[in-house]
């Protein structure tokens, strides 16, 4: 019971850690280094033991004539050597484990720095792009309001305005992704996940209706998770938007939230175009879009699911996507319940 509590706390700490990815990489490297050291220790100790055993036997054969006494002396000396070797190896393993952990962190540091630099660059660039985009938007809107403008000009300004909106949304998403480390600093509170999902589904009602898609809400279990409301809303919205965008007219979307022991499992199933098996492992990567939806009018810039993935990870949850081309996609999210 106590161990379970500690392991829970440890997992919470690990999943809550800002640099979870690096922490796991560090643990993995430590494990590999330790395995190499242990292998070397075991082989050298075995070699040492075999050679010592042979030497002892030869020496005692010469020195002790009495058979029983000799056997006893050999046994006692052997036992002592085994004990010393085990103790010595145990001390060395603990010491080398600590050293491996330290070395792993040292080796990963340059990669961490480069990644942080790149993230900072993306964050700064997307932040700085917001102002000119906002100015362009206002200019376009103002020129559209002017009297006596030609139809061609109006069409051009309208189309520019749409592109500016798309670009602004993309810049916002990029900013969100590059600042995801800040998610944890945002307010976390007990959230009734089913309710949040219900609200998002409701707000997507008209979008679905426009495409004649039937939206059904199944079982919605109660229970809360420790989360950030805005991020969780963003997460559901991105998944729902995908389900609607990639389901042809007349399709079906089903959502549910079920309790499973101390977890809540949310499922969003659609009867849409599905994802090809070769695309499936990549859909959570930033800017990844399956070939068949590229150039399609609807949909976004390929950042939606990477944002979902970040939010799920930062809430200690898991994301699982199953899909069959031309049959549909099922997105499952699992979160640890806290109440
Ligand atoms: N429900 C779905 N049905 C079919 N394809 C999907 C679905 N959800 C995501 N995808 C595929 O995964 C890609 C990445 O999704 P996402 O990150 O949200 O980007 P996008 O901005 O293109 O929607 C999409 O371009 C699409 O190819
Ligand atoms: Mg999307």
Q: How far is the CA of 12 from the centre of ligand 2 (A)?
A: 29
Instruction: Decide which of 3.30.565.10, 3.40.50.1000, 1.25.40.10, 3.40.630.30 is the CATH code for 188-336.
Output: 3.30.565.10
Quickly state the pLDDT bin for 28 (edges 50, 70, 90): very high
pLDDT for the residue 179 = 80
Return the SS3 of 41. Answer: helix
* pLDDT bucket at 185, cuts 50 / 70 / 90: low
pLDDT at 17: 46
Nearest CA to ligand 1 atom 8: 242
**pLDDT at position 252 over 70:** yes
Rounded to the nearest angstrom, the distance between the alpha carbon of 113 and the centre of ligand 2 is 30
Pocket-testing residue among 208, 242, 280, 299, ligand 1, by greatest number of atoms within 8 A of Cβ:
242
Note the pLDDT of residue 183.
Answer: 57
For the CA of 288, the nearest ligand: 1
Mean pLDDT in residue range 89-105: 94
Q: By alpha-carbon position, which residue is closest to atom 13 of ligand 1?
A: 289
- Give the pLDDT of residue 178: 86
pLDDT over 90 at 184, yes or no: no
Q: How far is the CA of 127 from the centre of ligand 2 (A)?
A: 22
Tokens standing for 114?
Answer: 């480069």
Per-residue pLDDT at 10: 59
Q: Give the residue extent of every domain in the chain.
A: 1-178, 188-336
Residue 64 pLDDT grade (very low, low, confident, very high; cuts 50, 70, 90): confident
- 240 Cα–ligand 2 center, Å: 9
**Closest ligand to residue 296's CA:** 1
State in Å: Cα 158 to ligand 2 middle. Answer: 23
Ligand 1, residue 294: give the atom nearest the CA: 25
What percentage of the chain has pLDDT greater than the value 70?
Answer: 91
Report the nearest atom of ligand 1 relative to the CA of 302: 19
Band of pLDDT at residue 216, cut at 50, 70 and 90: very high
* Residue 180: band (very low, low, confident or very high) from pLDDT cuts 50, 70, 90: low
The pLDDT tens digits of the residues spanning 107-151 come to 999 999 998 898 889 989 999 999 999 999 999 999 999 888 899
- Residue ID of nearest Cα to ligand 1 atom 4: 274
pLDDT at 2 over 70: no
Residue 126: closest CA among 335, 329, 301: 301
Strand partners, 257: 220, 266
Atom 20 of ligand 1 has which residue's CA nearest to it? Answer: 302
> Could you give the CA distance from residue 194 to residue 147 in angstroms, rounded to a whole number?
49
pLDDT of residue 293: 78
Nearest atom (ligand 1) to Cα of 305: 17
For tokens 């000396």, name the residue: 77
Contacts of 248 (CB under 8 A, 6+ apart): 211, 272, 273
Question: 81 to each of 51, 87, 116, 307, how far by Cα in Å?
Answer: 12, 10, 51, 58
Q: What is the mean pLDDT of residues 219-239?
A: 93
For the four alpha carbons of 160, 161, 166 and 171, in that order, the dihedral sign comes to: positive
| Whole-prediction pTM | 0.74
* pLDDT in the model for residue 115: 87
Distance from the first to the final alpha carbon of the chain: 19
Cα separation of 293 and 35, whole Å? 46
Look at the alpha carbons of 31, 336, 266, 300 in this order and tell me if their dihedral is positive or negative: negative
Residue nearest to atom 24 of ligand 1 (CA): 289
The ligand with the least distance to the CA atom of 248 is: 1
Tell me the ligand closest to 302's alpha carbon.
1
Residues lining ligand 1, Cβ inside 6 A: 238, 242-243, 246, 270, 272-275, 283, 288-290, 293, 299-306, 329
Please report which confidence band the pLDDT of residue 65 belongs to, taking 50, 70 and 90 as the band edges: confident
52 pLDDT higher than 80? yes
217 C-alpha to center of ligand 2: Å? 21
- Pick the more confident residue, 178 or 81: 81
Distance 237 CA to ligand 2 centre (A): 9
The four Cα atoms 18, 19, 23, 25 give a dihedral, to 10 degrees, of 150
Question: In angstroms, what is the span from residue 239 Cα to ligand 2's centroid?
Answer: 7
Which protein residue has the closest C-alpha to ligand 1 atom 7? 242
Closest atom, ligand 1, to C-alpha of 284: 17
Listing DSSP states for 219-260 in one string gives EE---EEEE-HHHHHHHHHHHHHHHHHTS-TT-EEEEEEEEE
């Amino acid at each position: 019971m106590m161990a379970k509590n500690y392991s829970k706390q440890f997992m919470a700490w690990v999943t809550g850690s800002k640099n979870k990815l690096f922490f796991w990489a560090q643990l993995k490297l430590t494990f590999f280094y330790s395995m190499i050291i242990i292998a070397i220790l075991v082989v050298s100790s075995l070699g040492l033991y075999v050679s010592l055993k042979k030497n002892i036997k030869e020496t005692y054969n010469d020195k002790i004539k009495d058979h029983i006494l000799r056997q006893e002396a050999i046994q006692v000396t052997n036992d002592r050597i085994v004990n010393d070797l085990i103790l010595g190896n145990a001390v060395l393993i603990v010491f080398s484990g600590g050293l491996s952990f330290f070395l792993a962190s040292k080796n990963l540091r340059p990669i961490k720095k480069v990644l942080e630099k790149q993230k900072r660059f993306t964050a700064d660039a997307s932040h700085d792009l917001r102002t000119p985009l906002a100015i362009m938007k206002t200019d376009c809107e103002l020129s559209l309001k002017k009297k006596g403008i030609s139809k061609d000009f109006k069409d051009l300004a309208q189309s520019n305005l749409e592109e500016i909106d798309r670009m602004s949304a993309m810049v916002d998403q990029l900013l969100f992704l590059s600042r995801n480390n800040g998610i944890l600093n945002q307010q976390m509170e007990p959230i009734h996940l089913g309710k949040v999902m219900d609200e998002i589904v409701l707000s997507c009602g008209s979008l679905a209706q426009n495409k004649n898609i039937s939206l059904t809400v199944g079982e919605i279990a109660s229970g809360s998770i420790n989360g950030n409301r805005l991020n969780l809303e963003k997460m559901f919205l991105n998944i729902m938007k995908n389900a609607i965008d990639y389901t042809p007219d007349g399709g079906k979307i089903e959502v549910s939230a079920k309790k499973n022991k101390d977890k809540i499992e949310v499922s969003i199933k659609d009867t849409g175009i599905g994802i090809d098996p070769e695309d499936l492992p990549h859909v959570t990567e930033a800017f990844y879009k399956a070939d068949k939806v590229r150039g399609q009018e609807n949909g976004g810039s390929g950042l939606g699911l990477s944002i979902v993935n970040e939010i799920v990870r930062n809430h200690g949850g898991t994301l699982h996507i199953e899909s069959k081309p031309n049959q549909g996609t099922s997105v499952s999210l699992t979160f640890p319940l806290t109440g």
